[in-house]
Amino acid sequence: MRKWFWGFLFIAFGFVCSIAAERNPRTERISGSAGDVLEDDPVGRLKVYVYELPSKYNKKILQKDPRCLSHMFAAEIYMHRFLLSSPVRTLNPEEADWFYTPIYATCDLTPTGLPLPFKSPRMVRSAIQLISSSWPYWNRTEGADHFFVVPHDFGACFHYQEEKAIERGILPILQRATLVQTFGQRNHVCLNEGSITIPPYAPPQKMQARQIPLDTPRSIFVYFRGLFYDVNNDPEGGYYARGARAAVWENFKNNPLFDISTEHPTTYYEDMQRAIFCLCPLGWAPWSPRLVEAVVFGCIPIIIADDIVLPFADAIPWEEIGVFVAEEDVPKLDTILTSIPPEVILRKQRLLANPSMKRAMLFPQPALPGDAFHQILNGLARKLPHQKIIHLKPGEKILNWTAGPVGDLKPW
Amino acid sequence: MKLSALQQSYLGRRSNSFRSSGPLDSSSDGAFKSPAAVFWLVLHGLSCLISLLLGFRFSRLVFLLLSTSSTYTSPFHSPTELAKTLDIRSVIPADPVGNVPLPFPNKTATNSRVVVGRHGIRIRPWPHPNPVEVMKAHRIIERVQTEQRLQFGVKDPRKIIVVTPTYVRTFQSLHLTGVMHSLMLVPYDLVWIVVEAGGVSNETASLIAKSGLRTIHVGFNQRMSNSWDGRHKLETKMRLRGLRIVREKKLDGIVIFADDSNMHSMELFDEIQNVKWFGAVSVGILASSANIDETVVEKRGEEENPRMPVQGPACNVSNMLAGWHTFNTLPFAGKSAVYIDDRATVLPRKLEWSGFVLNSRLLWKDGDKPEWMKDIDTLDGDIESPLDLVKDPSVVEPLGSCGRRVLLWWLRVEARADSKFPPRLRNSNNRSLTESMRLDCERILFFDFDNSGSVSLARWIIDPPLEITVPSKRTPWPDTPPELPSHEKPVIGIQEPIIKHTTKTRTSRSKRRSKRKHDETRTDRRTTGFDKTLQN
């Protein structure tokens, strides 16, 4: 009997030890408001039908300008490619829960590489006219079970200037659809209630290639590279970034703790890995790829953008990972940062070190489990099942197809 | 992200501000000349003319006075420029078109605190770093780095035992301070054994007391000779004395030999934690000589950079120890320094002691240690190289990725023979004031005794301050003015005036990772300027 007792004790001890050892002291599990959903597998939870649009909506545009594959709006293209070969795709539209329309609306680039959104409303409209006439699924719900990827500055408002974008509002025919966009700001016209915010595209291979050894000590306190004044469009300041970036520069350009400048160093990625905090202030739009880069390189993001909605906000508890500073508190930024207790900082670093966090921000090709594509699908799956009310009675029409500026009604 | 502002957008922006809640107006399409547009154009032109006359942007003043509704105010502390007058506008976005009966949220956009428009740039009254906060930030950085070291660095770091032979001389404080500061930065436990030729002296004691490290300071009863050969032999004996202390006190850790004029990198101390019993690292040899520039330039005019000779372990392809890289003394035959104050090249030995590290357990009398280690009591000082401590040189572990990384640098630089270094306390007479010292690298005339005549410690004190400075013959900075007056504020071109917002260039400050020589010289120039002003 004694032997059995000791044997049992030994086994129990080993069991406890193995559980304790499993919890890696370097990372922590991430669970947002929707629960511990970062590692969910969307396969089997939803079915997506991909419309076959003529190639003038997607492939031909890409052929005209292959730069679209590497700029920060490339998520729309990669999402299409991912869905074409994903197990959630179904060829039978009757059993589909969600419908995807592959339009590359952000691929009309200027010579310097900036996307022009002027033709996008017409393009989207023409595509929807096509799918509503060729398939019955749009008219069934007027698009409430369709989703679109609109990664432009202000999402489906299709303008780069915020005032213009607010004026236009979300394209009227997309009002009922689910919008997958990078823009997110609370109480803003261009963010619908059910939209899914995604991170902007950042090239995963480039970032993986520039990793430095993990024992390199983090010696930069705050790091930022980028514009403070947009001299071309807003020379006096005050308009660009609502004056927040200019305030950062004026207050902290003499501060040795803040490594901020407008240079374009070749060691940008390596420097981020040597910094503790990375500034992610708003620009003309509140989102930027800096957030993705900061998360991938383990640098705590300092988000200076009032009311911003960050990517996958229900799956990732951004409050615990980043530091949110109100734009009016920018002059006190150094006080705010130095008064964060070191344990909190270490905890944030542990959360950032979680590989599922880094994977959720990236769009790798080919897709990996837990990456941003899967998070989008998870988000769509969480919105299921569709409410009965979205199915319209025959003959019922809700959307006003002729709403919006006159120029949008021209055919494309 | 933005294209240059179009005129229509400008008009549109302005018209938005005066419309509290208007219908959607597509003023972006077409250029229709309505009376309203013409009116705004005229007003705009008028404001421009007035601004030209007055010298500031008149329209801002008008807007400030006329703007009524403001859902968002912000305090601002700004410099005196009027251009930063706060201009508050509220743009209330129109409701989205499309009255859907769905549970679609009714967009009451006035809930938003965030408005589009021109905001003030908030600057606090004293936009400079607060020293308390800088210290707090440094503590945070230290804590983060400690955590990084715990997670990714060496597991179970061992104590480091540093053995340094030294003696009192002109350049002692220069060299010893360098080593001391390197050791103070080492993140592991440290014991510093300082063996001093000629007995324990106050100068050395006071110097190493500043380090805050645990030190063991012993004297060696033999005066240092003035020939390099004699010095090397004595240093070997002093090191053995240090090793005997390790044995007596049964210190447990890794023994490293840090000569006081060597330069150590911090990675060295991380790398030696990997040693098991007896290891070797690569040492870069900076064979110094005052004449080396001329000789080198004559001989190799076409070669870019003469390679630095490296002493250390050599490995074969399977990363096993295959031999040793030693210093080639042939090019210097006959031209090497014999006496410590010679101007010729100082040569290292074949294998320098500083390139070897050993586990302190090898020195203990008892305990389990490999049988290839000789007992240090049986040796007595006449060891040529540290390899004589082991019976079989092949057991040495090569460190630093098999000797490919140079982790420390050997250098011997001593003052000239006629440098009248102040003598020690027990030898001092009441020397009078006017002693002039000349050092090898710079010619600075200064006076360094206090009037009472007794020397407490040999510190380089510039008291009274310099009256005449003579610039050194060769400076690395090509545009230094020939005269360096010490009483005037130095005129240095890099101090650009700090203009608030129109320039985007940074004022030069030492960048942590600046690799450009240009920048380094600029900061050097600035610090010498400050030093000179501090003396006044």
**pTM for this entry:** 0.69
Q: Residue A81 has what pLDDT? A: 93
- Distance of CA A220 to CAs A205, A288, B343, Å? 25, 21, 43
Tokens found for residue B65: 């006075």
DSSP B128-188: S--HHHHHHHHHHHHHHHHHHHHHHS-SSPPPEEEEEEE---TTHHHHHHHHHHHHHT-SS
Q: Are A162 and A284 in contact (CB under 8 A)?
A: yes
Matching residue, tokens 């650009």: B496
Nearest to A279 by CA among A297, A258, A265: A258
Give the chain A residue whose CA is nearest to the CA of B29: A407
- State what percent of residues in chain A have pLDDT above 90: 58
Nearest to B167 by CA among B126, B225, B103: B225
User: How far is B400 from B11, CA to CA, in rounded Å?
Assistant: 67
Of B13, B114, B123, the CB nearest to A307: B114
Of A25, A307, A390, the CB nearest to B112: A307
Could B148 and A215 be called an inter-chain contact, meaning their C-beta atoms sit closer than 8 Å? yes
A252 — pLDDT class (breaks 50, 70, 90): very high
Q: Which residues of B touch A390 (CB under 8 A)?
A: 102
B396–chain A nearest CA distance, Å: 27
Whether the pLDDT of residue A292 is over 70: the answer is: yes
Of B3, B108, B123, the CB nearest to A247: B123
Give the chain B residue whose CA is nearest to the CA of A286: B114
Q: Which residues of A touch B506 (CB under 8 A)?
A: 253, 261
- Distance of CA A242 to CAs A304, A329, B63, Å? 11, 13, 18
Q: Are A97 and A50 in contact (CB under 8 A)?
A: no
Q: Which residues of A touch B501 (CB under 8 A)?
A: 229, 236-237, 246, 250
B26–chain A nearest CA distance, Å: 6
Could you say which residues from 32 to 51 on chain A have a Cβ atom under 8 Å away from some Cβ of chain B? none
A335 Cβ neighbours under 8 A, 6+ residues apart: B130, B133
Whether the pLDDT of residue A23 is over 70: the answer is: no
**Burial grade of A31 (CB within 10 A; 0-12, 13-18, 19 or more):** middle
Q: Are B397 and B370 in contact (CB under 8 A)?
A: no
Q: Which residues of B touch A145 (CB under 8 A)?
A: none
User: How far is B288 from B175, CA to CA, in rounded Å?
Assistant: 15
CATH 3.40.50 placement within chain A? 204-361
User: How far is A301 from A352, CA to CA, in rounded Å?
Assistant: 10
Could B139 and A342 be called an inter-chain contact, meaning their C-beta atoms sit closer than 8 Å? yes
Give the chain A residue whose CA is nearest to the CA of B140: A342
Q: Residue B340 has what pLDDT? A: 73
Of A153, A185, A219, the CB nearest to B141: A219
User: Of A49-63, A304-318, B53-67, B365-379, where does mean pLDDT reach its minimum?
Assistant: B53-67
Q: Which residues of A touch B8 (CB under 8 A)?
A: none
Q: Residue B532 has what pLDDT? A: 44
Could A232 and B123 be called an inter-chain contact, meaning their C-beta atoms sit closer than 8 Å? no
The mean predicted confidence, pLDDT, of chain A is: 89
B507: DSSP letter: P
CATH number of A204-361: 3.40.50
Q: Which residues of A touch B127 (CB under 8 A)?
A: 250-254, 331
Q: Could you give the residue ranges of the DSSP H alpha helices within A277-370?
A: 290-296, 318-321, 333-338, 342-353, 355-360
Q: Which residues of A touch B60 (CB under 8 A)?
A: none
Q: The domain B157-290+307-423 belongs to what CATH superfamily?
A: Spore Coat Polysaccharide Biosynthesis Protein SpsA; Chain A (3.90.550.10)
Q: Which residues of B touch A407 (CB under 8 A)?
A: 26, 29
Could A256 and B509 be called an inter-chain contact, meaning their C-beta atoms sit closer than 8 Å? yes
Q: Could you give the residue ranges of the DSSP H alpha helices within B339-496?
A: 400-403
Tokens found for residue A151: 């990664």
A351 — pLDDT class (breaks 50, 70, 90): very high
Q: Residue A13 has what pLDDT? A: 61
Q: Are B521 and B479 in contact (CB under 8 A)?
A: no
Q: Which residues of A touch B149 (CB under 8 A)?
A: 215, 217
Of A186, A267, A338, the CB nearest to B137: A338
The vertex-B1 CA angle with A410 and B7, nearest 5°, equals 65
Could B507 and A242 be called an inter-chain contact, meaning their C-beta atoms sit closer than 8 Å? no
Nearest to B124 by CA among A10, A336, A68: A336
Q: Taking the mean position of all CA atoms in its chain, how far away is CA A194? A: 15
Matching residue, tokens 């008008």: B62
User: How far is A358 from A361, CA to CA, in rounded Å?
Assistant: 6
Matching residue, tokens 């052929």: A63
Size of interface A-B (CB pairs under 8 A): 217
Could A261 and B506 be called an inter-chain contact, meaning their C-beta atoms sit closer than 8 Å? yes
B463–chain A nearest CA distance, Å: 33
Give the chain A residue whose CA is nearest to the CA of B112: A187
Could B127 and A164 be called an inter-chain contact, meaning their C-beta atoms sit closer than 8 Å? no
User: How far is B161 from B367, CA to CA, in rounded Å?
Assistant: 19
What are the backbone dihedrals phi and psi of residue B120, each rounded to the nearest 5 degrees, phi first? Answer: -75, 155
> Which of A221, A260, A263 to probe the B interface (max B CBs under 10 A)?
A221
Q: Which residues of B touch A302 (CB under 8 A)?
A: none
- Distance of CA A317 to CAs A183, A195, A321, B264, B435, Å? 18, 17, 7, 45, 71
Could A256 and B129 be called an inter-chain contact, meaning their C-beta atoms sit closer than 8 Å? yes
For A18-134, strand residue ranges (E) read: 48-50, 98-100
Matching residue, tokens 């019955």: A136
For chain A, how long is the longest CA-to-CA vector? 90
Q: Residue B203 has what pLDDT? A: 83
- Distance of CA A17 to CAs A8, B85, B242, Å? 14, 65, 45
User: How far is B415 from B421, CA to CA, in rounded Å?
Assistant: 9
Of B75, B119, B127, the CB nearest to A250: B127
Of B26, B98, B512, the CB nearest to A406: B26
Question: What tens digit of pLDDT does each residue of A111-139 get?
Answer: 988 899 899 999 999 999 999 999 989 88
Could you say which residues from 329 to 368 on chain A have a Cβ atom under 8 Å away from some Cβ of chain B? 330-332, 334-335, 337-340, 342, 345-346, 349
Q: Which residues of A touch B1 (CB under 8 A)?
A: 114, 153, 160, 283-285
Q: Residue B462 has what pLDDT? A: 58
User: How far is A242 from A305, CA to CA, in rounded Å?
Assistant: 9
Tokens found for residue B345: 């090249």
Could A169 and B96 be called an inter-chain contact, meaning their C-beta atoms sit closer than 8 Å? yes
Q: Are A79 and A153 in contact (CB under 8 A)?
A: no
Is A308 an interface residue toward B (CB < 8 Å)?
Answer: no
Could A175 and B24 be called an inter-chain contact, meaning their C-beta atoms sit closer than 8 Å? no
Q: Residue A24 has what pLDDT? A: 57
Q: Are B472 and B486 in contact (CB under 8 A)?
A: no
Could you say which residues from 146 to 175 on chain A have a Cβ atom under 8 Å away from some Cβ of chain B? 153, 160-164, 166-167, 169-170, 172, 175
Of B4, B116, B118, the CB nearest to A166: B116
B507–chain A nearest CA distance, Å: 8
Q: Taking the mean position of all CA atoms in its chain, how far away is CA A48? A: 20
User: How far is B285 from B68, CA to CA, in rounded Å?
Assistant: 76
pLDDT tens for chain B, residues 1 to 536: 444 444 444 433 443 333 333 333 334 444 456 788 899 899 888 888 888 888 776 666 666 676 543 433 333 333 333 333 333 333 333 333 333 333 333 333 446 677 888 888 889 998 888 899 999 999 999 999 999 988 888 788 899 999 999 988 888 888 999 999 999 989 899 999 999 988 888 888 988 898 889 999 999 888 888 888 888 888 888 999 999 999 999 999 999 999 988 999 988 998 899 899 889 999 988 875 544 454 444 454 444 556 788 888 888 888 788 888 887 777 666 667 777 777 777 777 778 888 899 998 888 887 777 888 888 777 765 677 778 888 888 888 888 888 788 999 988 888 876 666 665 443 333 333 333 333 333 333 333 333 333 333 445 555 566 677 777 777 666 665 655 555 444 444 444 444 444 444 444 444 444 444 444 444 444 444 444 444 44
User: How far is B509 from A252, CA to CA, in rounded Å?
Assistant: 13
Q: Residue B285 has what pLDDT? A: 87
Could A218 and B141 be called an inter-chain contact, meaning their C-beta atoms sit closer than 8 Å? yes
Single-letter amino acid code for the residue at B321? L
Give the residue extent of every domain in chain B: 157-290+307-423
Give the chain B residue whose CA is nearest to the CA of A391: B102
User: How far is B220 from B234, CA to CA, in rounded Å?
Assistant: 9
Residue A257's CB is within 10 A of a number of other CB atoms, namely: 22
